[in-house]
């Protein structure tokens, strides 16, 4: 009888142990949180999407924003592990992450370059869609854009001014860029020095690491105008001037024209002008792949599309590389 009791107790103990191991395994498979590395201009829509994700899956979403070039370099140069990478220019994924860190990405949203300002900006009551170049070229006007080395909005701002010169011949690129920064145009290529050497001594141009960093400068009056995305202007209630399609980098049918502007960054990367398309991927070493897939599917599905539309970033869908079938909406 005693032996039977011992046997039963042993079985019960074994079952409890197996149950505990199973519970521990389940706990390991359900992360406390996932990490998203993202472009600064995605902060608003991703925050809203994260709230919906957390309500559905019970998993916290940690979003870390920066300029898109800086974002991908966190993965390929600093070795930071992320579950999802979402950037304002798909070329950031293509140029820095493809093959070694991922073999696919999806273009998921569009945008356009605008000139933002406030009621306190110099000539705020005069500037319009026909005279904006003349206003920006005034000696007392202070202009901001983000670093081309860190943020696509920065090199897109420079490209827009370069294309404006090629189209309208006002001398905007020389007046704003070459006379106030150490960025130069040489043989149809815009040469960008390292960040410490970007600015000249005139003090008329302000450069920040990412475009949304300029919003505080606009509000404080430190600058009069900033090159931003239309979505950022709408999300933050800024006044803005919309530019012609030939300059604003929004029209996919004008890609051959946009490529008249080529930028060479300080690290040697060469970027041709292109229509603004955002890109998203899951790195090969994502710590929580299953939950990363759930997040990307939410972004690409109806919920994500509605949020992007409301935030001024029209959704799109275009696969590049070998997209896993579980990611496709």
> Using CB atoms within 10 A of its CB, is residue 77 exposed (0-12), middle (13-18) or buried (19+)?
exposed
Answer yes or no: is 159 within a domain: yes
Tens of pLDDT along the chain (329 residues) come to 454 444 444 444 444 444 443 433 333 467 789 999 999 999 999 999 999 999 999 999 999 999 999 999 999 999 999 999 999 999 999 999 998 999 999 999 999 999 999 999 999 999 999 999 999 999 999 999 999 999 999 999 999 999 999 999 999 999 999 999 999 998 889 999 999 888 765 689 999 988 888 999 999 999 999 999 999 999 999 999 999 999 999 999 999 999 999 999 999 999 999 999 999 999 999 999 999 999 999 999 999 999 999 999 999 999 999 999 999 98
Residues 39 and 142 in one domain: no
Do 253 and 174 sit in the same domain of this protein? yes
Whose tokens are 């990490």? That residue is 35
Q: CA separation (Å) from 173 to 50, 136, 206?
A: 40, 10, 15
Q: Distance between terminal CA atoms of the chain?
A: 61
Q: Verify that 69 and 191 share a domain, yes or no.
A: no
* Structural domains in the chain (count): 2
CA–CA dist 82, 74 (Å, integer): 9
Q: Are residues 162 and 310 in the same domain?
A: no
Instruction: Give the total residue count for the chain.
Output: 329
Nearest to 71 by CA among 50, 48, 47, 41: 41
Does residue 304 share a domain with residue 227?
no
Whether residue 187 lies inside any domain: the answer is yes
Looking at the fold, whether 170 and 201 belong to one and the same domain comes out as yes
**CATH code of 300's domain:** 3.40.190.10
Nearest-angstrom CA–CA distance, 177 and 41: 23
In this structure, is residue 212 part of a structural domain?
Answer: yes
Does residue 1 form part of some domain? no
Domain holding 154, by residue range, is 113-272
Same domain, 36 and 71: yes
Both 254 and 105 in a single domain?
Answer: no
């Amino acid at each position: 009888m005693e032996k039977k009791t011992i046997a039963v107790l042993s079985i019960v103990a074994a079952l409890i142990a197996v149950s505990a191991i199973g519970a521990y395994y389940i706990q390991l498979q359900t992360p406390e949180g996932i990490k998203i590395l993202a472009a600064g201009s995605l902060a608003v829509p991703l925050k809203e999407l994260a709230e919906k994700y957390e309500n559905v899956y019970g998993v916290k979403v940690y979003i870390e924003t920066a300029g898109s070039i800086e974002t991908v370099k966190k993965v390929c140069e600093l070795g930071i592990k992320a579950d999802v990478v979402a950037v304002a220019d798909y070329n950031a994924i293509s140029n820095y992450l493809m093959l070694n860190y991922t073999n696919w990405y999806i273009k998921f949203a569009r945008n356009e370059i605008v000139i933002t300002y406030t009621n306190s900006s110099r000539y705020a009551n005069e500037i319009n869609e026909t005279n904006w170049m003349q206003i920006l070229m005034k000696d007392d006007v202070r202009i901001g854009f983000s670093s081309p080395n860190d943020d696509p909005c920065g090199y897109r701002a420079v490209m827009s001014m370069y294309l404006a010169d090629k189209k309208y011949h006002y001398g905007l690129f020389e007046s704003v860029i070459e006379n106030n920064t150490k960025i130069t145009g040489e043989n149809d290529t815009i040469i960008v020095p390292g960040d410490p050497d970007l600015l000249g001594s005139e003090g008329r141009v302000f450069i920040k690491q990412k475009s949304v960093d300029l919003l505080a400068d606009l509000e404080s009056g430190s600058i009069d105008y900033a090159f931003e995305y239309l979505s950022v202007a709408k999300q933050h209630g800024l006044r803005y001037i919309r530019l012609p399609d030939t300059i604003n980098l929004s029209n996919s049918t004008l890609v051959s024209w946009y490529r008249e502007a080529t930028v060479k960054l300080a690290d040697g990367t060469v970027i041709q002008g292109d229509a603004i398309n955002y890109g998203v991927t899951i790195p090969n070493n994502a710590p929580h792949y299953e939950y990363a897939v759930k997040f990307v599917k939410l972004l690409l599905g109806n919920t994500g599309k509605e949020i992007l539309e409301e935030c001024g970033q029209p959704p799109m869908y275009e696969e590049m590389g070998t997209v896993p079938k579980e990611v496709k909406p």
